[in-house]
Amino acid sequence: MTMTAIPAFGTPPRSRRRLWIEQITGASFALPALALLILTILLPLAVLLYLSLTNYEFGAISADWVGLANFSKALADPIIRRSVINTLIYVAIVVPGGVFGALLIAILVHGRRRTRSLYEVIYFLPVTSTLIAMATVWQFLLHPALGPVNAMLKWLGFGEIAFLSEPSTALATLAVIGIWQLLGFNMILFLAGLSAIPRDLYEASEIDGCSNGIDRFLTITWPLLGPTTMFVIVTTMITAFKIFDTVAVMTRGGPMGRTEVLLYNIYLEGFQYFHTGYAAALSFIFLAFILVFSVAQTFTLDRKVHY
């Protein structure tokens, strides 16, 4: 036992020192992130909360405490109410279209061998493109007189439609562009989910009598894709709820307020009209919606559903 210490397991002084070093390193590694977390998220949230309870306007010298007046004003404001409804309509179109469209495409693409990567590229292309630039192109595509879409409609014998300036079609048109932008992203997520389903199960079901596509889909694909589908739905809801770019570039809330959405109104109130206090209250309303979706997302993100 004269051999010099191979540090024996759990020698008290050493391990205490080790623990101490670990704590110091851990804390110092986390420090930059913590500082940024405080400076760019927590502190701004606190300030935002304070602002929402005042009538502060950016540039003003002072502000008065108004309590919940901003919130009650927002809830009564017909413009805000309309923008919330518009946003939800937008979400209600983009989510089913963007999720189930992507599911259909993913299932079809998954079965291809040679053409699979070609289709993957094509469908994914809009995800990487700059939406603002493409929005300009869409505007031209949908132009009542000059665009090919209307030319096609005329050729088919329909009347021309001013998609973006017609109150009844503007929001739906933006939603279609939204689906166009996000379909490929969701398709890739579904493809990953599909690849994770063991081939054995399809074979077993084949022997057990699932002879057609519908049976295979209902017995195996759909239930086993459940967690992926949940995740994709929630992500799509959040993305859709944050619609801003296309409104800002293509319609600016028009025609007749039909495409006013919540985030666009927050932008106008906060950074164009500088009704800072009011915009702060609107931000919290926006956050409330996002939180409802996000909590669901955090759940699906951390908990892969095990059967």
Partner 1 sequence: MASVTLPVAARAAAPITPSGAIAKRLLSLVVVHGILLAGAIFMLLPFVWMLITSIKPPAEIFTAQISLWPKQFYGVENYSFALSQAPLLRFALNGVILCAGILVVQLLVAIPCAYALAKLRFPGRNLLFVLVLLGLCIPVQVPAMPLYIALAELGLLNTYFAMMVPFFLSVFAIFLFRQFFRSFPDDIIHAARLDGMSEFEIVWRIVTPSAWPAIAAFSVFSAVAHWNDLYWPLIVISDAKLAPPPLGMMFFADAETGSNYGALTAAATVLTAPLVIAFLIARRRFIDGITMTGVK
Partner 2 sequence: MATVDLTSIAKSFGPTKVLGGVDLSIADGEFLTLVGPSGCGKSTLIRIIAGLEAQDSGGVAIGGASVDHLRAHERRVAMVFQSYALYPHMTVGANIGLPLTMSRMTLRQRLPLLRLLSRQRREILRGIEADVGAVAAQLQLEHLLDRRPAQLSGGQRQRVALGRAMVRSPDVFLMDEPLSNLDAKLRVHMRTELAELHKRLGATFIYVTHDQIEAMTMSDRVAMMDAGDVLQLGTPSELYERPASIKVAQFIGSPAINLLPATLAGSGRIELFGRPLSLAVNGTAGASITLGIRAEALSLAQGEPGQGGRAWFSARLRRKENLGSEYILHFDLAGRDAPGVTTRATAATAATVNETAEVALTFDETACHVFDVGGERLEPRNGGAVSSVVPLRA
Enumerate residues 188-247 that contact partner 1 by CB under 8 A.
188-189, 191-193, 199, 202-203, 206, 216, 228, 231, 235, 238, 242, 244-245
Report the nearest approach of partner 2 to the CB of residue 191 (Å).
20
- Applying CB under 8 A, among 15, 42, 92, 158 the residue interacting with partner 1 is 42
Report the nearest approach of partner 2 to the CB of residue 232 (Å).
18
Q: Name the binder of 306 from partner 1, partner 2, none, CB < 5-8 A by kind.
A: partner 2
Smaller CB separation from partner 1, 139 or 169: 139
Smaller CB separation from partner 2, 150 or 221: 221
Conformational region of residue 171, where left means phi above 0, alpha means psi within -120 to 50, and beta covers everything else: alpha
Contacts to partner 2 from residues 177-206, by CB under 8 A = 198, 200-201, 203-206
**What's the burial of 12, exposed, middle or buried (CB within 10 Å: 0-12/13-18/19+)?**
exposed
Site string for partner 2, 287-306 (x = CB under 8 A): -------------------x
Report the nearest approach of partner 1 to the CB of residue 148 (Å).
5
Site string for partner 1, 82-101 (x = CB under 8 A): -------------------x
Residue 184 interacts with partner 1 (CB under 8 A): yes or no: yes
With beta carbons less than 8 A apart as the criterion, state whether 190 and 225 touch: yes
Residue 223 interacts with partner 2 (CB under 8 A): yes or no: yes
Report the nearest approach of partner 2 to the CB of residue 304 (Å).
12
Residue 307 interacts with partner 2 (CB under 8 A): yes or no: yes
Residue 219 interacts with partner 2 (CB under 8 A): yes or no: yes
Q: Name the binder of 201 from partner 1, partner 2, none, CB < 5-8 A by kind.
A: partner 2
Report the nearest approach of partner 1 to the CB of residue 67 (Å).
19
d(CA 284, CA 290): 10
Report the nearest approach of partner 1 to the CB of residue 189 (Å).
5
Residues that bind partner 2 (CB under 8 A): 198, 200-201, 203-212, 214-215, 218-220, 223-224, 226, 306-307
